[in-house]
Amino acid sequence: MNSFILNGKHVNPGEQRYIDLRIAKLPTHTVIDMPIFVSRGVNPGPTLLLTAGLHGNETNGIEIVRRIITEKHLHPTSGTIVAVPIVNIYGFLQQERYLPDGKDLNRSFPGNKTGSLASRVANIIVNELLPLVDFGIDFHTGGASKDNYPQIRCVLSQQQNVTLAEAFAPPFILNSTLIDKSFRKAAHRRGKSIIVYEGGESLRLDEDAIQYGIDGTLRLMKSFGMRDDAPVISYKPRTFLKSSWVRAKVSGLFRTTLKPGDKVVRGQHLGSITDPYGETNVNLKATQNGYVVGLNRMPVISAGDALLHIGNRVESK
Ligand SMILES: [Zn+2]
């Protein structure tokens, strides 16, 4: 693609441009724009979309895209990068996952021009950005006090997903089916693969999660000929075909010494739930071998709450 036009603005090969996309107005008439950074290499190549902050409180992703921009990684030798550090501007301002209409943007795709706010933002992404790109990485963190070990989530039965995930080479790759009304599913229906990167917790900057996200993006760019160099991995990425949550059988205080990324073996003690008065103590045991891909950091939990997300290892590269 030699011409690149977003919001009526042309970006030529070898150029970088910052483009504001009008989203809506606040009740105060304050205009809300979505800042988008477009950077084109001099040589032709694929167009990569980087999005973060679909959930406004997932700060690690926003920081990953910010650093990619400020550390000048955004300039490809070939192809084009379209970077959106904050998709849900409203949620970011409120330090909230949702939009002011109470909707989850990642459950509002493909959206509607005349729908409520989340639906309108989704509609803009689908109609203005998706047609311009070939594939993308959408950066997230754990929601609701969940701490995710750096991982790519994608559909492992789709070859382009596998190619993108393996190029990114995060510590963990997790098979994750397409959820209805999600950005990933809307993109997939339009023939575009979006893989999701998850790392760390909402509203916490996690240096490891940020660095894994940047390094993986650079590796993916290199594998598509968009840059000449990228950090080399010093670990073996682990791929999980399945994962499941260990849930609380009772309410109380949850304690564990496990950390995201830890290995667990069947029968291993995973943690315990005690009532606040010291009368009961329920031990949790692993029912299968695997790795901790996510962990609930909330100490006070209710029966049924998700505590530990365990991935089952299927292959090691
Ligand atoms: Zn998220």
Residue-range domains of the chain with CATH: 4-223 (3.40.630.10), 242-316 (2.40.50.100)
pTM of this prediction? Answer: 0.95
**What spacing in Å lies between the alpha carbon of 153 and ligand 1's midpoint?**
12
Q: Which residue has the tokens 């084009």?
A: 80
Q: What is the pLDDT of residue 72?
A: 84
**What spacing in Å lies between the alpha carbon of 63 and ligand 1's midpoint?**
14
Q: What is the pLDDT of residue 190?
A: 95
**What spacing in Å lies between the alpha carbon of 82 and ligand 1's midpoint?**
19
The one-digit pLDDT tens for each residue of the chain (317 residues) are 578 999 999 999 999 999 999 988 888 888 889 999 999 999 999 999 999 999 999 999 999 999 999 988 889 999 999 999 999 999 999 899 998 888 999 999 999 999 999 999 999 999 999 999 999 999 999 998 999 999 999 999 999 999 999 999 999 999 999 999 999 999 999 999 999 999 999 999 999 999 999 999 999 999 999 999 999 999 989 999 999 999 999 999 999 999 999 999 999 999 999 999 988 999 999 999 999 999 999 999 999 999 999 998 765 44
CA distance 187 to 180: 12
Q: What is the pLDDT of residue 315?
A: 54
For 51-89, give one letter per residue: b (16+ CB within 10 A) or e: bbbbbbbbbbbbbbbbbbbeeebbebebbbbbbbbbbbb
Q: Which tokens go with 159?
A: 């070859």
Task: Determine how β-strand 269-274 pairs with β-strand 78-84.
Answer: unpaired
**What spacing in Å lies between the alpha carbon of 75 and ligand 1's midpoint?**
26
**What spacing in Å lies between the alpha carbon of 248 and ligand 1's midpoint?**
23
Closest of 148, 114, 115, 156 to residue 242, by C-alpha: 156
**What spacing in Å lies between the alpha carbon of 52 and ligand 1's midpoint?**
9
Q: What is the pLDDT of residue 26?
A: 81
Q: What is the pLDDT of residue 122?
A: 95
**What spacing in Å lies between the alpha carbon of 267 and ligand 1's midpoint?**
32
